[in-house]
Structure 1
Amino acid sequence: MRFLTVLSAMAVTALVLLGYSPGLCAAPLEFSIGNVDITPDITKDKAVWLAGYYHGRAATEIHDRLNARGIMLSDGNHSLAIVSLDLIGWSFPSTQQIRQQLPEVDYVMVCSTHSHEGPDTIGIWGESVIKTGVNQAYNQRVEKAVVTLVKQLAANLQPVTAHFAKIDRPELVHDSRLPIVIDPTIRVLQFRSTRDNTPVGQLVQGTTHPEALGSKNTQITADFPYFTQKRLQQEYHCPTVYVSGAIGGLLAPPHDGIVDRNNRSVHPGNFEYADAYGTAVGQAVIDALKVSRPIKLTPMAIHRQEVAIPIDNPLYRMARSLNVIQRVSYEWTGNSKSWGQQITRDFRPERGAIVTEVSLLQLGTLHILGIPGEIYPELVTGDFPNPALLQADFPDAPLEPVVKTLCANQPWMLMGLANDEIGYIIPKRQWDREPPFAYGRSMSQYGEINSCSPEVGPIIMETLANLFKRCNTTDGN
């Protein structure tokens, strides 16, 4: 028996010396990247209402094409797609419709860059406050485009290696809400061919709202991410998928402008600024990749959880009752893990809720967090006001778990507006809708008006924390 044990050990040693290991024998990481056009048609017969800022802003022309851009990854056991839309947002029910048409893919994540210069896909930026801005035929077209894209990606997988990099660029971020807290870190995955090590695509997570053009623009455009991806195409001769990270708060390109490549000062509100800012973001990615490190993205595991969130925002409730926002909702039971009967004309409970999803993708040593809205950076960094803001509405609320602590020292990327757009995800202690207001203000800061409820922050972050616990105890879906 001892002889057999020694013999087995010698055999294992020989295999290792020959280059064998269980990890090396596993299926290689496979990758594909692509895009499909989702630019709406502009005609005299039907207006295209631009999302963001205010209602009644109709598109007049097209500056650059809008796209659904995506990547697919496979480890031989699981396949997943991450798609980013050049749109203000996307709803979870629409994401579910897409998934139902792609049963062969283990997980599809549909993000939005949150561009304020594309068609209204949510409903609240129509011709007037009582008219929806959604063109259902256009939304259905986007659904079909995403399905087509993912099928194309599945048919074009190739073996790759992956490199991860990150870089802090606080000068590219402006926070218009007190306290000033930002996540300045641009994060990037670059995929390289196993044949010749040339780049074949990038996934970039940015830090700000795509609103370089401002509220007066009426041209359809992907905003600054168009120029970011253009700069990276010039550098690496391959496509890029851009997603937004922790942009709640409101994090935006610097209001006082930036200096462009020609050492000129440019300011928001025009394509010159969008070009300069987007190019600066692209250059930051290039600088980061100069010191990138290889990263193992296999094996892959997919963790997700559907949750209910209450709709306490009176404007959202009114928009739903007027059919401006057309989304299935349910009775709020007081428990995010269960929801009541579907709301109808004949059943209108005191508090309603919608169902959304939080996800956590475990790719080897990398975590990809799917957050269904615009998360405040405080919930990423943990930089809460200390002491608590006594004038805020819930100064004694427990602090939520934060991304920085949950991820510990592991590399991560945060996909904001992932699979849904539920609005701002605000730390409950910073909810400040009723007087007296914090910071000596005479009125509430911007934010709460575009959040479903003060309960959203705790629900989303507790759910994410539970997914991390699941991630640490199982490798399954």
Structure 2
Amino acid sequence: MLADSVQFSIGSAEITPDVQGPKPVWMAGYYPGRAATSVHDPLFARGMLLSDGHCKIAIVSLDLIGWSYPSTLTIRQQLPEIDYVVICSTHNHEGPDTIGIWGESFIKRGVDEKYNERVEETVVQLVKQLDSTLQPVSVEFAKVNRPDLVHDTRQPIVIDATIRAIRFRSQVDGSTLGLLVQGTTHPESLGARNTAITADFPCFTHKRLKQHFDCPTVYVSGAIGGLMTPPANGIVDEQAAAVRLTTFKYAEAYGNTVADAVAEAFKTGQPVDLTPFRIFRKEIAIPIDNPLYRLARSLNVIRRVSYEWTGQPESWGKQVTREFRPDRAAAVTEVSLLQLGEVKLLGIPGELYPELVAGQIPNPPDQHVDFPAAPLEPNVDQLVGDEPYLMLGLANDEIGYILPKRQWDREPPYAYGRAASQYGEINSCSYEVGPIIMDTFAELCQRAELPAGEP
């Protein structure tokens, strides 16, 4: 293997659940009690392996709602030859429940443990296979701003409309071997009434990019918290016909449009150097204040080890048990920053609000938010500057929405003159999560600025 030369491999493995089996497959997203009745298109674990001759990094994206940090650690333990493994989820709302809260009812767990174990085994085998097919590549970065492809359902209206992508070309013949694409919206174009297993619009994005570049793609989601969705007023397909949400025609038209935007962006893609690799990661604790999450854990709907919240993200207390139930519990998760030469890959363990990308947090805040005096969190653009980067949303975990603390609004009177709280906080662990995640990311960025070898 050539030192200081990027080596690359890409591949996929199917992870479609068996909907004809003896047990129902409970679909994730929207509400409990939605059992799958058929399979429209298969689900995949899509991955790539990168090496700079000294360090190996695997990036795997699952066509799933989310993946837990404990399961990520289980996968890493079986891949000691890989220096760092990132497991992302597209946040697909049309696949099986892998978290627990979308079972037959609110009080019944929706996870098929054997299915989750199968996914773990599949990912491990996929990465091992990729480790045997590495080849030298050149690399290009491209991005395109497409605000027409993102809809924000929550005030204030703030979006991160930038699709970002990396292209890997063979050093032998210049052909494109693979793409890493970061999108901007929830994969939920089929809606809550669909009962057919599908990867949603990324399925069609993969197919269209295959037509453009004759190569596989790994697709990940970016800052989709807030709630970032495909345009509610529909999209125009190739026949110039308007297609509305909640149909496979919509999913296809939207997925194709995303792929076409990526292809157009690479007409002006810029060469980038991805060496050397530097890995920055930090385990942190986040408080679990959400009463629904706490209830789900007490009912064994969510099965995840939690700890006493000490008030400090860097340390956590005793493990919570039936006998030891502190007033506030915490979950342990991870924030990561991969410095690949000129490019940063940001590992965010949940659904980041776009406000925390560009820093577009109302200042002054609406007078009725719960924490109007909360300090503004560091934001991605501020920390990264002009460097090219990709967001790896739902990386290694799914902790829910990551909000700016100044926008937290659960108590009346409500912001923006509303009669009720907006959607968002109900799927966040705590009002403290946003500051914790962004402060941790700021710390990792500072570490990345130090010369290699310094702490």
* Structure-2-length-normalised TM-score: 0.99
Aligned counterpart, 1:444:
421
Q: Which runs of 4+ in 1 moved over 6 A?
A: none
* Structure 2 contact 4–276 (Cα < 8 Å) conserved: no
Aligned counterpart, 2:335:
358
Q: Does 1:119 align with 2:96?
A: yes
Distance in 2 between residues matched to 1:27 and 1:405, nearest whole Å: 30
How big is each residue's C-alpha offset from its partner over 1:411-453, in whole Å with a ceiling of 9 and x where there is no partner?
1110000000000000000000000100000000000000000
Distance in 1 between residues matched to 2:158 and 2:238, nearest whole Å: 28
3-state secondary structure, aligned to 1:167: strand
Pairs within 5 Å for 1:52-451: 52-451=29-428
Distance in 2 between residues matched to 1:283 and 1:413, nearest whole Å: 19
Distance in 2 between residues matched to 1:270 and 1:254, nearest whole Å: 13
Distance in 2 between residues matched to 1:255 and 1:475, nearest whole Å: 47
Q: CA RMSD in A?
A: 0.9
3-state secondary structure, aligned to 1:290: helix
Distance in 1 between residues matched to 2:451 and 2:352, nearest whole Å: 27
Aligned counterpart, 1:466:
443
Distance in 1 between residues matched to 2:227 and 2:235, nearest whole Å: 18
How big is each residue's C-alpha offset from its partner over 1:168-196, in whole Å with a ceiling of 9 and x where there is no partner?
00000000000000000000000000001
Distance in 1 between residues matched to 2:141 and 2:371, nearest whole Å: 39
Distance in 2 between residues matched to 1:200 and 1:113, nearest whole Å: 21
How big is each residue's C-alpha offset from its partner over 1:35-78, in whole Å with a ceiling of 9 and x where there is no partner?
01100011252000000000000000000000000111000110
3-state secondary structure, aligned to 2:268: coil
3-state secondary structure, aligned to 1:460: helix
Amino acid across the alignment from 1:471:
A
Distance in 2 between residues matched to 1:348 and 1:43, nearest whole Å: 41
Distance in 1 between residues matched to 2:214 and 2:47, nearest whole Å: 17
Aligned counterpart, 1:38:
15
Equivalent pairs counted in the alignment come to: 453
Q: Return the offset for 1:409.
A: 1.0
Distance in 2 between residues matched to 1:130 and 1:258, nearest whole Å: 38
Percentage of matched positions with identical amino acids: 65
Amino acid across the alignment from 1:401:
P
How big is each residue's C-alpha offset from its partner over 1:237-289, in whole Å with a ceiling of 9 and x where there is no partner?
11000000000000000011011111000010010000000000000000101
Q: Residues 138 and 400 (structure 1 numbering): CA distance in 2 closer, same or farther, change over 3 Å?
A: same
Amino acid across the alignment from 1:388:
P
Distance in 1 between residues matched to 2:172 and 2:116, nearest whole Å: 39
Distance in 1 between residues matched to 2:224 and 2:360, nearest whole Å: 15
Larger Rg: 1
Q: Return the offset for 1:27.
A: 2.9
Amino acid across the alignment from 1:344:
T
Distance in 1 between residues matched to 2:324 and 2:363, nearest whole Å: 44
Distance in 1 between residues matched to 2:265 and 2:238, nearest whole Å: 18
Distance in 1 between residues matched to 2:275 and 2:197, nearest whole Å: 39
Amino acid across the alignment from 1:439:
Y
Distance in 2 between residues matched to 1:249 and 1:44, nearest whole Å: 36
Distance in 1 between residues matched to 2:21 and 2:169, nearest whole Å: 46
Distance in 1 between residues matched to 2:197 and 2:452, nearest whole Å: 43
How big is each residue's C-alpha offset from its partner over 1:346-382, in whole Å with a ceiling of 9 and x where there is no partner?
1111100000000000000100000000000000011
3-state secondary structure, aligned to 2:129: helix
Distance in 2 between residues matched to 1:475 and 1:405, nearest whole Å: 22
Distance in 2 between residues matched to 1:55 and 1:270, nearest whole Å: 21
* Structure-1-length-normalised TM-score: 0.94
Distance in 2 between residues matched to 1:64 and 1:392, nearest whole Å: 43
3-state secondary structure, aligned to 1:57: coil
Aligned counterpart, 1:15:
none
Q: Return the offset for 1:474.
A: 4.0
How big is each residue's C-alpha offset from its partner over 1:4-32, in whole Å with a ceiling of 9 and x where there is no partner?
xxxxxxxxxxxxxxxxxxxxx84311000
